Structure 1
Amino acid sequence: MASVSLTNVPFLLVISLSIFISSIIVGSANNFYKDFDINWGDYRGKILNHGELLTLSLDNISGSGFQSKEEYLFGKIDMQLKLVSGNSAGTVTAYYLSSAGPTRDEIDFEFLGNLSGQPYIVHTNVYTQGKGEREQQFYLWFDPTTDFHTYSVHWNPLTIVFSVDNIPIRVFKNLESIGVAFPKHQPMKLYSSIWNADEWATRGGLVKIDWTYAPFIASYRGFSASACSLASGKHFCSSSKPNYSPWLSEKLDLMGEKRLKWVQKNYMVYNYCTDTERFPRGFPPECKAIS
């Protein structure tokens, strides 16, 4: 997350969420064997370099994916990704947190492939109690296929912040006070996958996958998580200091807000809160408070 200011989470809120401050329980960076399972795609998902690197691939038979061994209830989660290079049209690389079941909560990054030389679109969404349709989309200010870049979710009881290389691109605030559900009760696992979405992913499905470029490969490294992890039926929160987890109450400061506005002014390409065709009778209530 970009620059932050710290305030204390109210004591009763912490107790009500059954959060127990404990010793450090942090996802080990560069140890994919320890932190993740390849959950589909057979040999198309690979853990390499003694656990420091993970790759997912898509061919004309199947995609592939992985999931975290841990479940999280709030956290600062970082992953470095290098996306499919060249002609990636029709492919989607998804990187997201999700709970299980029809009333799932979910926090999504999806990277929509494109023709060689054209920019990726970063598609974001937030589901609460099974309800989504909160899409915002962005171009990036760099080529995400030539090197690794850090994609982060910072999720606490107050807010969800999506960041790229520590620059915030989207904020979803806790607006339960005006009747908007917020994900705070359901633990989520971290997932990623690459798959064929050429029915919709590139120019609304007009551009299909060219399988002569397969396999399409996305690469991962540098995972880390400072998070409340589910263990033995309780949620334990990690911290660099005993009995103190400052990320539970962090929010953007003035510099973070400026960076957010810079991204949204220059790189946002779709915002559900301005789509009058989709919401002819008025926008969802959270749109009035979106930064």
Structure 2
Amino acid sequence: MLTLDASVVAGMEQERPLTLFSAGLQARPASEVRFGVGDVIGITIFETQAGGLFIPADTGGRPGNFVTLPQQQIGRAGMVTIPFAGELKATGRTSAELERAIAGRLRQRALEPQVIVTLVERRSAAVSVVGDVDQSLRFSLDPGGERLLGAIARAGGTRFAPHETLVTLQRGGVAESAILADIVEDPRLNLQLAPDDTIIVARQQRYFLALGAVGQTASITQLNRRFPFEDRRLSLGDAIARAGGLQDDRANPSAVFLFRFERRAALQRMGVSIPQVPGRRSRPSIGPTCSTPPRCSSCSVSRCATMI
């Protein structure tokens, strides 16, 4: 047990929530979008004068010394076909890199070839947004990049309030989550997206339980003892008031207890002795024995328990 004093409150306020994106995700810059399978590209080849590989000596009514090839979709093998140059790998390359590769293949046959490659339709580098949004969607990243909040805005925004909306980013087989209200408040959490990211938006209401001598004894209706936060932060005083206050004829104001889950490191900093429980490394018993699963649905904090 700990006495709820100023030092304990200050220590708890310093605790960083577990539902925040890692530093590695926060530091990732905008991804350079390269050609991928399914993209449709256009290729234009220029030569310095008529009489070259693509420009006949008698140009007639031609508008200039260039030829535009039919649009091509990059196939599963990642290749595109260029007349007199054969197949070239397109996937994983930028426009400038593919332009240099094509010009290098044609240099021995065309007259000082210059190449322009344009993206006609992006069908790769897709990002999916699903869950509690206005409309789930899948879109392709632009070369300028896209951030997390921008992707949610494309999906029409979320259906629920930011403080009860959990945003999960799946990337490379790993999933990390943060509360939308935290993302809005901290620009570092508004991550740069990468190709093949999946964003899952889900409602995650937070609740607290009010037990004992709370609520009005004169009430003729059954009081709900499980209350939603209905806000991003909730103080102990607010929670007691929302539960109907302390009962004047039963409650002892000096015996108000708060039971919550906290991390082992936070308790150790406050001088709590935490015994090692054999076979259970992450949740020693402090105060009463708790049968709650390792992650508390109310506060999303795990690993140890205490009563204040």
TM-score by length of 1: 0.22
Q: Specify the structure having the higher radius of gyration (Cα).
A: 2
Higher relative contact order (CA 8 A, sep 6+): 1
TM-score, normalised with respect to structure 2: 0.21
